[in-house]
Amino acid sequence: MRARRRRRLAVGTLALVIAATVTVILSAGSSSSPSPASSARKHHRATARTAPTTGTAASSGPLARPGRSGSQPVPILMYHVIASPPSGAPFPGLYVTPSEFAAQMGALKQAGWHAVTLDQVDAYWHRGARLPAGKPLVLTFDNGYQSQFTQALPVLRGLGWAADENIQISGLPPSQGGLTRAQVRGLIAAGWELDTQGYSHADLIALDPQQLHSEVVVARGVLQRRYGVPVNWFCYPSGHYDATVISAVKEAGYKGSTTVVPGWAHRSDDSYTLARLRVLGGTSPTQLLAQIASVRADATPPAAYGGG
């Protein structure tokens, strides 16, 4: 009897020990595992920290606002051949040697100038477009001489500058020192702007209406189709123009024209009679800077110009 009581007591004690052990294990598991509500809160906080920000403010900056139209006047320089004049050249003053040209460009850069194109100036004056840092000026090259590609382009490319090429379609073939079509495309690829002096560099004020149409309208269409560029600016051959010529240039769709009358171009000027400063051979860098400054206050070009 006593033996049976001892066995029942031992079994009961063992049951109590097992129950206590299970309770401890369950309590420990409950304290180390988060409740569903706790898990949800932690997931929300983690998601809030790592989720990508969406919406316009994060994906893009503020829209750029168009600037106010600029009013700064701009000098336009005129170059022809970048080479030494050959013996017997009819117009030796139009030849600027490569060393002279490089020195002039270096002086302009040192003085704070930066070359831009006529289209850039037009956008600055009338649409508030920004120009590169520095004082703006335009470099124009007339007729389409090959030296403009072989000599001027490398110098300007080294400065990060572009220029305007006023090409004539006929009368200056590559065999006589004119640009090849591949070279014209090379200028365009380098950021130069292609403009024109017409089909054959004729004296426009001496032409009949059909001839004038060919020089101004047909020439632009040929260049547009050949090179795929707008050809927005005309350059009067030898600087000659009158009301009839200006009217033809306007009707052809050009934005404006450049002359040979010295001065600076202003936003308030007639865009079809923009002044230019011719750079002659033998001009030192110091002289060029002085010439640019000296013509700033010159009167605007006249309504007609026939040379002289």
C-beta separation of 75 from 265 below 8 A: yes
In-domain check, residue 22? no
Give the C-alpha separation, 238 to 202, whole Å: 8
Please provide residue 185's backbone torsions phi and psi, each rounded to the nearest 5 degrees.
Answer: -65, -35
294, 278, 242: which is closest to 91 by C-alpha? Answer: 278
For residue 167, list its beta bridge partners.
143, 196
In-domain check, residue 115? yes
* Residue 216 pLDDT greater than 70, yes or no: yes
Alpha-carbon torsion (105, 268, 192, 254), positive or negative? negative
Strand (E) or helix (H) holding 31: helix 2-32
* Residue 227 pLDDT greater than 60, yes or no: yes
Give the C-alpha separation, 274 to 264, whole Å: 8
Convert the pLDDT of each residue in 140-175 to its tens digit. Answer: 999 999 999 999 999 999 999 999 999 999 999 999
In-domain check, residue 63? no
Instruction: Write out the two tokens for 287.
Output: 């002289």
Top pLDDT among 26 and 273 is at 273
Convert the pLDDT of each residue in 102-128 to its tens digit. Answer: 999 999 999 999 999 999 999 999 999
Convert the pLDDT of each residue in 52-108 to its tens digit. Answer: 333 333 222 222 234 567 999 999 999 999 999 999 999 999 999 999 999 999 999
* Residue 268 pLDDT greater than 80, yes or no: yes
* Residue 295 pLDDT greater than 70, yes or no: yes
111, 117, 108: which is closest to 140 by C-alpha? Answer: 117
In-domain check, residue 64? no
Top pLDDT among 294 and 38 is at 294
Mean pLDDT of the 236-242 span: 97
Q: What is the pTM of this model?
A: 0.78
Q: How many domains does the chain have?
A: 1
C-alpha distances in Å from residue 139, one per residue of 136, 248, 302: 10, 25, 22
pLDDT of residue 307: 72
In-domain check, residue 35? no
Convert the pLDDT of each residue in 244-255 to its tens digit. Answer: 999 999 999 999
| pLDDT cut 90: percent of the chain above it | 76
Query: Could you please report the per-residue DSSP string of 167-217?
Result: EESSS--GGGTBPPHHHHHHHHHTTPEEEEEESS---GGGS-HHHHHIIII
In-domain check, residue 210? yes
Residue type, 101: F
* Residue 33 pLDDT greater than 50, yes or no: no
Outline where 193-304 has alpha helix (H): 209-213, 219-227, 243-251, 285-294
pLDDT of residue 43: 34
Task: Read off the CATH number of the domain in which 133 is found.
Answer: 3.20.20.370
Range of the domain at 132: 74-294
* Residue 6 pLDDT greater than 70, yes or no: no
In-domain check, residue 25? no
pLDDT of residue 308: 58
Give the C-alpha separation, 111 to 304, whole Å: 34
